[in-house]
């Protein structure tokens, strides 16, 4: 048998090991959860394209008017219903108003109301659901039965009623759409909360003496954020759509403050004259925004799934 | 010719960006009628070996390379349809968790009959008859009725019996049991292992027993293959392996066992570092990086298999031990003396925690109005005390109420009755604000650290949280404290920026320990802190807990189902059964001279990593299963399973009375006491 010389491995219990010894790759230490989520998001090509579309629309609607000055305010009888051409890239409408300029202005309203009410609905829904789920018992029962009752009112009926009684300003539309679209997120957040509140890390926090607000805001809500963000992106799409529907049936903002839905409604009354440039631009815009939001939502769902982040 | 011949088997699992060499060139044979043990830590490839034989690989698993001859037929050459005929017919398999392996929407009888009908073309009634027949074979009481039950209606042990019945329905030549008892209690584990053993003899089949538990394998296997990082590193008869391990890894595993440390009163050996990453395995000996005896050649080339004079196979350049124990011993000087170091003996101070007649009932409610229709008696009048610097161990089967005791002490549950006083202050009487402040002094260490840490928080925030909640010091002092804690538990400060999922099990348990230590508690309640860990990692955590106890004068309430771990760490041991404390006393006294029949039975039931002891065990240990805590038995709660039970046991509850003078108490009418 060979003579055995034992070397000192130098790895006693009390010497803190280096990261390599622990099998942790050093390059990864600085990467935050956000960075890793972003990587997963970027792997989804469709979502990246959708995000590009969204950015394109935001830039076009909010910064486009600084570069492109189309007539959007007064009637020009000598320029009515012109097809797309060099002076009017998207043509003009029945009043001689430039379609591209109008698309930008209407887009501002659609996007503002859509995003504002989508986010507002998410905040309400998330908090309501988390509180109902966390408190539980009869409080939960009352809160959730209230939601059931509200959900039994047909959405379009509620929208029409509220829009026609409260007046037709931007703020009212934001509030009305938000107040009719937070229920689904509430149910999802409550479900998440019910599973999270029995987890050991919540027990650990309670054991250390942590109070309910800390548990809800530091532990439960951050762990439902995936659901919330996905739902927000879908909720924005729904809000854009809801506003379009209201405008289409003539209950939107007053002209000339049309949104895309209003433009589309206006264009569709000239359908038999074949003025396609009055219908397609707002119609396609609505569809693109809704589809983009849905794709982004899907990719965010993956990005927030911690288990998918590594490997 | 052997029944099963596995030759140079390679199995790869493809991940998103890399490929894991899960099984990397292993060969072994199984003779008809013998039991082969495959033992290894998690990630060693033992389950993948079993799955490769069945050709049931997870997603991304490529078809295994090499050859697997079953009765002269290469299973790897069969097409899917032929292989389907082999599964469940020639080879049966039992999985770890019987609940997830059974279909919850089908009765047990139908599920067993299904496999008979597929493989034997039996009719409906014929299949059911066979199901009842095999159910009685596996010792299922009243098999006619049980065959009509759904899986959820059966207890864990009964479900595993049903699984075995299913695997045996077609009388396979080979039974693969993958961790068959890991999800079960020790008392049930023994019954199941005995059942498998008995069936093997009766049906003349071969068994491959895959497990991480050196105790389980000691009494059951004829030969043992030790796996490490996708390779078999040692292969020999069970007796020879336990008496004279040749591979340093096997030796290190044995040295990590808590029973070895408890016997000699020394520190446990812990294998440093982590197993290699199998996506890029080293081209040298895979254990070299963690080996006590590693030389330059170990790090340069792969050691081939060697066979010594007595037919002991191993893959090592510098084997430990000698071919024949009687032959001349090779002198080996260890640079690391940790394994022979004396354990620090903590100094015991005054009483820290006093628990008196603790009771916890969970109400069972029914209907819309939540009317109470009964209650689960989880803890029924438990009293004990813990002194400063002392470790009290609490053992018992699952459902005995030990975790509930932990939750009551740390304040996660409210007591139904009874008193708890910490340094004289009655915890139950405190107002909630003061109770919160007091919670600094008692911290809980969870079994599953991963579940106990918010996955969205960096471990820095996780460890700092108790300090933030208790408003200890200012921001800088908290940061300094966290760094200090990380140093104490042996983690680099740079790891503070990581998220919990980036750590391995043992490292996470260290983080959990650091968090429990953060508010400088006086008592740490550790609920199964090492049961989810591998033996070598387990010893690291146990050593660390002992070191820091001596350093800070901590007291522990150490809860575990594993008596050998409890014996190693504890000064005193309490044994719980169905909500009652049936015996408590000094660790050695309880272990070597138990008074209560339940303790005796537990000791007989727990598998010991020593084939001699295991095979010599005559008593069958504890029989039957834990009764329901909704209607606990009258009088002594253990009487339904007790070998010494008499009429008086059903009428009067035995009080906890002292035996001897060393504070050894037990509650039994007919104690084992000379």
Q: What is the pLDDT of residues B174-189, one digit of tens each?
A: 999 998 888 778 888 8
Cβ contact (<8 Å) for A9 and B486? no
Please say whether the beta carbons of A222 and B454 come within 8 A: yes
Residue B485 maps to a domain: yes
B12 DSSP β-pair partners: B21
Q: Report the alpha-carbon distance of residue B61 to residue B64 in Å, rounded.
A: 8
User: Looking at residues B232-252, what average pLDDT do you find?
Assistant: 90
Q: Report the alpha-carbon distance of residue A284 to residue A281 in Å, rounded.
A: 5
In total, how many domains does chain B have? 3
Q: What is the pLDDT at residue A13?
A: 40
Find the farthest-apart pair of alpha carbons in chain B and give their distance in angstroms, rounded. 78
In angstroms, the separation between the Cα of residue B295 and the nearest Cα of chain A is 8
Whether residue B408 sits in one domain with residue B386: yes
Q: What is the arrangement of strands in the sheet containing B371-387, beginning at the earlier edge strand?
A: B371-387, B351-366, B417-422, B425-426
Cβ contact (<8 Å) for A222 and B490? no
Of A17, A28, A207, the CB nearest to B492: A17
Residue B577 maps to a domain: yes
Q: At a CB cut-off of 8 Å and minimum separation 6, what does A152 contact?
A: none
Residue B540 maps to a domain: yes
Cβ contact (<8 Å) for A29 and B499? no
Among B233, B265, B264, CA closest to B247 = B233
Of B333, B334, B466, the CB nearest to A208: B466
Cα R_g (chain A), whole angstroms = 27
**Final residue of a structural domain among B485, B504, B520:** B520
Q: Which residues of A touch B332 (CB under 8 A)?
A: 4, 6
Whether residue B620 sits in one domain with residue B658: yes
Q: What is the pLDDT at residue B667?
A: 92
Other beta carbons within 10 angstroms of residue B348's beta carbon come to 14
Q: Report the alpha-carbon distance of residue A230 to residue A297 in Å, rounded.
A: 5
Cβ contact (<8 Å) for B335 and A24? no
The residue of chain B with its CA nearest to that of A9 is B292
- Is the predicted pLDDT of residue A10 greater than 70, yes or no? no
Q: What is the pLDDT at residue B580?
A: 92
Map residue B447 onto helix, strand or coil: coil
Q: How confident is the model at residue B342 (pLDDT cuts 50, 70, 90)?
A: low
- pLDDT tens profile A168-203: 788 888 888 888 888 888 999 999 999 998 888 998
Q: Report the alpha-carbon distance of residue B421 to residue B351 in Å, rounded.
A: 10
Residue numbers of A between 6 and 45 with CB closer than 8 Å to B: 6-9, 11-19, 21-24, 26, 28-30, 33
- Is the predicted pLDDT of residue B63 greater than 80, yes or no? no
Judged by phi (left if over 0) then psi (alpha if -120 to 50, else beta), residue A299 lies in: alpha
User: Looking at residues B196-224, what average pLDDT do you find?
Assistant: 90
Q: What is the pLDDT at residue A3?
A: 40
Q: Which residues of B touch A223 (CB under 8 A)?
A: 454-456
Q: How confident is the model at residue B564 (pLDDT cuts 50, 70, 90)?
A: confident
Q: Report the alpha-carbon distance of residue A71 to residue B183 in Å, rounded.
A: 75
Whether residue B577 sits in one domain with residue B589: yes
Whether residue B498 sits in one domain with residue B411: no
Q: Which residues of B touch A44 (CB under 8 A)?
A: none
Percent of chain B scoring above 70 in pLDDT: 95
Whether residue B583 sits in one domain with residue B543: yes
Q: Report the alpha-carbon distance of residue A278 to residue A290 in Å, rounded.
A: 20
Q: What is the pLDDT at residue B537?
A: 82
End-to-end CA distance of chain B: 55
Peptide bond preceding A167: is omega within 30 degrees of 0, i.e. cis? no
Whether residue B552 sits in one domain with residue B467: no
Of A9, A22, A209, the CB nearest to B470: A209
**Final residue of a structural domain among B520, B546, B574:** B520
Q: What is the pLDDT at residue B346?
A: 55
Q: What is the pLDDT at residue B35?
A: 93
Residue B320 maps to a domain: no
Whether residue B622 sits in one domain with residue B550: yes
Q: Report the alpha-carbon distance of residue B69 to residue B487 in Å, rounded.
A: 52
- The torsion defined by the Cα of B97, B99, B102 and B107, in degrees rounded to 10, comes to 150
Cβ contact (<8 Å) for A207 and B412? yes
Q: How confident is the model at residue A309 (pLDDT cuts 50, 70, 90)?
A: low
B178, containing H or E segment: strand B174-178
B6 DSSP β-pair partners: B28, B68
Whether residue B532 sits in one domain with residue B619: yes
In angstroms, the separation between the Cα of residue B609 and the nearest Cα of chain A is 25
Give CA angle at A240 (A298, A230), nearest 5°.
Answer: 20
Q: Which residues of A touch B437 (CB under 8 A)?
A: 209
Q: What is the pLDDT at residue B376?
A: 87
Q: Report the alpha-carbon distance of residue A110 to residue A282 in Å, rounded.
A: 10
- Is the predicted pLDDT of residue B557 greater than 90, yes or no? yes
Q: Report the alpha-carbon distance of residue B167 to residue B75 in Å, rounded.
A: 19
**Mutation site, A34, A39, A200, interface B, largest B CB count within 10 A:** A200
Whether residue B603 sits in one domain with residue B510: no
Q: Which residues of A touch B540 (CB under 8 A)?
A: 13
Whether residue B613 sits in one domain with residue B498: no
- Is the predicted pLDDT of residue A17 greater than 70, yes or no? no
CA B587 to chain centre: 20
Q: Which two tokens stand for residue B3?
A: 């029944």
Cβ contact (<8 Å) for B544 and A16? no
In angstroms, the separation between the Cα of residue B270 and the nearest Cα of chain A is 8
- Is the predicted pLDDT of residue B117 greater than 50, yes or no? yes
Please say whether the beta carbons of B641 and B227 come within 8 A: no
B422 DSSP β-pair partners: B353, B425
Residue B288 maps to a domain: no
Q: For chains A and B, what is the number of CB pairs under 8 angstroms? A: 147
CA A273 to chain centre: 37
Among B508, B228, B518, CA closest to A22 = B508
Q: What is the pLDDT at residue A306?
A: 59
Of A11, A211, A223, the CB nearest to B272: A11
In angstroms, the separation between the Cα of residue A107 and the nearest Cα of chain B is 37
Percent of chain A scoring above 90 in pLDDT: 16
Q: What is the pLDDT at residue B437?
A: 79
**Mutation site, B499, B516, B540, B543, interface A, largest A CB count within 10 A:** B499
The residue of chain B with its CA nearest to that of A213 is B469
Q: Which residues of A touch B338 (CB under 8 A)?
A: 12-13
Residue B185 maps to a domain: no
B511, containing H or E segment: helix B505-517
Residue numbers of A between 241 and 300 with CB closer than 8 Å to B: none
Q: What is the pLDDT at residue B585?
A: 92
Q: How confident is the model at residue A255 (pLDDT cuts 50, 70, 90)?
A: low
**Final residue of a structural domain among B150, B171, B192:** B171
Percent of chain B scoring above 90 in pLDDT: 21
Of A6, A21, A225, the CB nearest to B293: A6
- Is the predicted pLDDT of residue A29 greater than 80, yes or no? no
Q: What is the pLDDT at residue A32?
A: 66
Q: Which two tokens stand for residue B117?
A: 């009908």
Q: Report the alpha-carbon distance of residue B148 to residue B669 in Å, rounded.
A: 40
Q: What are phi and psi of B57, to 5 degrees?
A: -95, 150
Q: Report the alpha-carbon distance of residue A222 to residue A266 in Å, rounded.
A: 44
Cβ contact (<8 Å) for B410 and A28? no
Q: How confident is the model at residue B327 (pLDDT cuts 50, 70, 90)?
A: very low
Cβ contact (<8 Å) for B465 and A311? no
Q: Report the alpha-carbon distance of residue B516 to residue B525 in Å, rounded.
A: 9
Q: What is the pLDDT at residue A22?
A: 54
Q: What is the pLDDT at residue B328?
A: 41
Residue B41 exposure: Cα atoms within 13 Å on the Cβ side: 23
Cβ contact (<8 Å) for A6 and B17? no
Q: What is the pLDDT at residue A133?
A: 92
The residue of chain B with its CA nearest to that of A203 is B412
Cβ contact (<8 Å) for B294 and A30? no
CA distances from A38 to A56, B40, B211, B500, B503 (A): 20, 38, 40, 19, 22
Q: Which two tokens stand for residue B515?
A: 């968090």
DSSP state of B138: T
Specify the pTM: 0.80
Map residue B666 onto helix, strand or coil: strand
The residue of chain A with its CA nearest to that of B541 is A13
Query: Strands B442-445 and B523-527: what pairing?
Result: parallel
The residue of chain A with its CA nearest to that of B288 is A9
Query: Strands B391-395 and B555-559: what pairing?
Result: parallel
Q: What is the pLDDT at residue A8?
A: 37
DSSP state of B594: -
Please say whether the beta carbons of B70 and B55 come within 8 A: no
Residue B539 maps to a domain: yes
- Is the predicted pLDDT of residue B582 greater than 90, yes or no? yes
Cβ contact (<8 Å) for A204 and B332? no
Cβ contact (<8 Å) for A16 and B411? no
Q: What is the pLDDT at residue A189?
A: 92
Q: What is the mean pLDDT of chain B?
A: 85
CA B106 to chain centre: 30
Q: What is the pLDDT at residue B20?
A: 85
Please say whether the beta carbons of B236 and B311 come within 8 A: yes
Q: How confident is the model at residue B341 (pLDDT cuts 50, 70, 90)?
A: low
Q: How confident is the model at residue B618 (pLDDT cuts 50, 70, 90)?
A: low
Where is pLDDT greater, at B208 or B603?
B208
Q: What is the pLDDT at residue B329?
A: 42
In angstroms, the separation between the Cα of residue B345 and the nearest Cα of chain A is 18
Q: Report the alpha-carbon distance of residue B114 to residue B122 in Å, rounded.
A: 9
Q: What is the pLDDT at residue B318?
A: 86
User: Looking at residues B304-324, what average pLDDT do you find?
Assistant: 82
Q: What are phi and psi of A135, to 5 degrees?
A: -70, -45
Q: Report the alpha-carbon distance of residue B455 to residue A113 in Å, rounded.
A: 35
Cβ contact (<8 Å) for B454 and A28? no
Residue with token string 């299963």: B625
Supply the DSSP string of A41-64, one letter for each residue.
HHH-HHHHHHHHHHHHHHHHHHHH
Residue numbers of A between 185 and 214 with CB closer than 8 Å to B: 199-201, 203-211, 214
Q: What is the pLDDT at residue B391?
A: 93
Other beta carbons within 10 angstroms of residue B338's beta carbon come to 16
Q: Which residues of B touch A200 (CB under 8 A)?
A: 446, 448, 451-452
Of B330, B451, B543, the CB nearest to A200: B451
Of A2, A13, A33, the CB nearest to B499: A33
Q: Which two tokens stand for residue B632?
A: 């606990």
- Residue A137 touches partner B, C-beta closer than 8 Å: no
Please say whether the beta carbons of A259 and A243 come within 8 A: yes
Residue B564 exposure: Cα atoms within 13 Å on the Cβ side: 22
Q: What is the pLDDT at residue A7?
A: 38
Q: Which residues of B touch A201 (CB under 8 A)?
A: 451-455
User: Looking at residues A240-265, what average pLDDT do you find?
Assistant: 80
Where is pLDDT greater, at B537 or B356?
B356
Whether residue B564 sits in one domain with residue B422: yes
For domain A34-58+97-309, the question of CATH label 3.30.70.270 is answered with: no
Q: Which residues of B touch A2 (CB under 8 A)?
A: 317-318
Among A265, A232, A255, A291, CA closest to A109 = A255
Q: How confident is the model at residue B326 (pLDDT cuts 50, 70, 90)?
A: very low
- pLDDT tens profile B417-471: 888 888 888 887 777 777 777 778 899 998 888 888 988 888 889 999 988 888 8
Q: Report the alpha-carbon distance of residue A130 to residue A271 in Å, rounded.
A: 48
B650, containing H or E segment: helix B647-651
| Domain interval for residue B500 | 457-520
Whether residue B496 sits in one domain with residue B417: no
Cβ contact (<8 Å) for B502 and A28? yes
Among B507, B475, B482, CA closest to B496 = B482
- pLDDT tens profile B68-109: 999 888 988 888 888 888 888 899 998 877 777 888 899 999
User: Looking at residues A62-76, what average pLDDT do you find?
Assistant: 79
Q: What is the pLDDT at residue B34?
A: 92
Q: Report the alpha-carbon distance of residue A149 to residue A193 in Å, rounded.
A: 22
Q: Report the alpha-carbon distance of residue B396 to residue B82 in Å, rounded.
A: 47
User: Looking at residues B541-546, what average pLDDT do you find?
Assistant: 89
Q: What is the pLDDT at residue B27?
A: 92
B398, containing H or E segment: none
Cβ contact (<8 Å) for B335 and A203? no
């Amino acid at each position: 048998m060979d003579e055995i010389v034992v070397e000192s491995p130098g790895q006693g219990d009390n010497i803190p090991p280096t990261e390599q010894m622990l099998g942790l790759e050093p390059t990864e230490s600085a990467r935050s959860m956000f960075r890793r989520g972003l990587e997963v998001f970027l792997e989804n090509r469709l979502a990246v394209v959708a995000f590009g579309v969204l950015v394109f629309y935001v830039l076009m609607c909010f910064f486009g008017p600084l570069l492109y000055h189309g007539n959007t305010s007064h009637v020009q009888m000598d320029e009515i219903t012109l097809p797309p051409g060099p002076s009017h890239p998207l043509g003009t409408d029945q009043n001689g108003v430039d379609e591209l300029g109008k698309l930008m202005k209407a887009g501002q309203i659609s996007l503002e109301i859509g995003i504002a009410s989508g986010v507002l609905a998410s905040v309400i829904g998330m908090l309501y659901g988390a509180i109902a789920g966390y408190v539980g018992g009869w409080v939960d029962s009352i809160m959730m039965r209230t939601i059931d009752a509200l959900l039994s009112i047909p959405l379009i009926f509620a929208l029409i009623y509220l829009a026609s009684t409260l007046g037709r300003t931007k703020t009212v539309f934001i509030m009305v759409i938000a107040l009719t679209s937070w229920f689904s997120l509430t149910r999802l957040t409550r479900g998440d909360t019910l599973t999270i509140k029995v987890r050991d890390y919540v027990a650990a926090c309670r054991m250390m003496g942590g109070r309910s607000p800390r548990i809800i805001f530091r532990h439960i809500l951050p762990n439902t954020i995936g659901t919330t963000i996905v739902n927000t992106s879908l909720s924005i799409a729904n809000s854009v759509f809801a506003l379009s529907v209201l405008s289409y049936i003539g209950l939107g903002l007053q002209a000339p403050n049309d949104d895309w839905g209003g433009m589309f409604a206006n264009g569709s009354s000239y359908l038999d004259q074949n003025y396609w440039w009055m219908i397609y631009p707002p119609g396609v815009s609505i569809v693109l925004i809704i589809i983009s939001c849905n794709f982004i939502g899907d990719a965010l769902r993956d990005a927030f799934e911690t288990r998918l982040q590594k490997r | 010719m052997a029944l099963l011949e596995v030759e140079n088997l390679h199995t790869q699992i493809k991940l998103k960006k890399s490929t894991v060499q899960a099984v990397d060139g292993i060969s072994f044979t199984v003779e008809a009628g013998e039991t082969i043990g495959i033992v290894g830590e998690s990630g060693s490839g033992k389950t993948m070996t079993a799955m490769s034989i069945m050709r049931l690989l997870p997603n991304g698993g490529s078809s295994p390379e090499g050859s697997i001859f079953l009765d002269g037929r290469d299973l790897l050459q069969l097409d899917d349809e032929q292989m389907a005929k082999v599964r469940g017919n020639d080879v049966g398999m039992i999985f770890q968790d019987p609940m997830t392996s059974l279909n919850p929407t089908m009765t047990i009888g139908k599920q067993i009959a299904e496999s008979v009908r597929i493989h034997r073309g039996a009719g409906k009634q014929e299949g059911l008859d066979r199901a009842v027949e095999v159910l009685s074979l596996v010792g299922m009481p009243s098999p006619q009725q049980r065959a009509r039950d759904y899986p959820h209606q059966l207890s864990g042990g009964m479900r595993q019996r049903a699984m075995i019945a299913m695997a045996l329905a077609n009388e396979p030549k080979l039974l693969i049991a993958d961790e068959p008892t890991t999800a079960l209690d020790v008392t049930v584990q023994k019954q199941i292992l005995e059942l498998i053993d008995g069936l093997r003899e009766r049906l003349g089949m071969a068994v491959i027993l895959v497990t991480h538990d050196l105790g389980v394998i000691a009494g059951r296997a004829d030969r043992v293959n030790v796996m490490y990082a996708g390779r078999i590193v040692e292969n020999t008869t069970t007796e020879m392996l336990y008496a004279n391990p040749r591979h340093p890894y096997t030796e290190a595993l044995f040295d990590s066992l808590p029973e070895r440390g408890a016997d000699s009163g020394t520190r446990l050996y812990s294998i440093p570092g982590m197993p290699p990453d199998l996506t890029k395995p080293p081209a040298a000996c895979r254990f070299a990086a963690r080996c006590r005896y590693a030389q330059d050649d170990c790090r340069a080339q792969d050691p081939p298999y060697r066979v010594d004079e007595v037919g002991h196979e191993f893959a090592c350049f510098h084997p430990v031990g000698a071919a024949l124990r009687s032959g001349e011993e090779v002198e080996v000087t260890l640079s690391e003396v940790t394994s022979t170091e004396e354990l620090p003996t903590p100094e015991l101070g005054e009483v820290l925690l006093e628990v008196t007649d603790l009771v916890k009932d969970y109400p069972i409610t029914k209907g819309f109005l939540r009317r109470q229709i009964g209650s689960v008696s989880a803890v029924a009048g438990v009293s004990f005390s813990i002194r400063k610097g002392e470790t009290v161990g609490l053992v018992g089967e699952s459902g005995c109420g030990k975790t509930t005791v932990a939750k009551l002490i740390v304040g996660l549950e409210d007591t139904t009755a009874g008193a708890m006083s910490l340094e004289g202050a009655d915890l139950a009487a405190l107002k909630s604000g003061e109770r919160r402040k007091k919670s600094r002094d008692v911290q809980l260490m969870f079994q599953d650290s991963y579940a106990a840490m918010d996955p969205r928080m960096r471990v820095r925030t996780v460890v700092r949280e108790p300090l933030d909640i208790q408003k200890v010091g200012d921001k800088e002092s908290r940061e300094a404290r966290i760094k200090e804690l990380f140093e104490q538990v042996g983690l680099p400060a740079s790891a503070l920026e990581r998220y919990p999922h980036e750590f391995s099990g043992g490292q996470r348990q260290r983080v959990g320990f650091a968090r429990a230590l953060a508010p400088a508690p006086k008592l740490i309640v550790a609920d199964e802190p090492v049961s989810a860990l591998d033996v070598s990692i387990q010893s690291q955590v146990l050593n660390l807990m002992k070191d820091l106890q001596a350093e800070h004068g901590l007291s522990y309430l150490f809860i575990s189902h594993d008596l050998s771990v409890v014996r190693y760490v504890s000064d005193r041991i309490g044994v719980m059964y169905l909500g009652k404390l049936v015996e408590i006393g000094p660790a050695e006294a309880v272990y070597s001279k138990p008074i209560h029949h339940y303790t005796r039975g537990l000791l007989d039931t727990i598998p010991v990593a020593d084939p001699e002891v295991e095979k010599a065990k005559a008593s069958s240990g504890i029989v039957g299963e834990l009764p329901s805590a909704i209607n606990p038995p009258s009088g002594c709660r253990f009487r339904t399973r007790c070998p010494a039970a008499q009429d008086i046991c059903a009428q009067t509850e035995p009080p906890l009375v002292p035996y001897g003078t060393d504070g050894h108490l037990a509650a039994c009418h007919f104690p084992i006491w000379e």
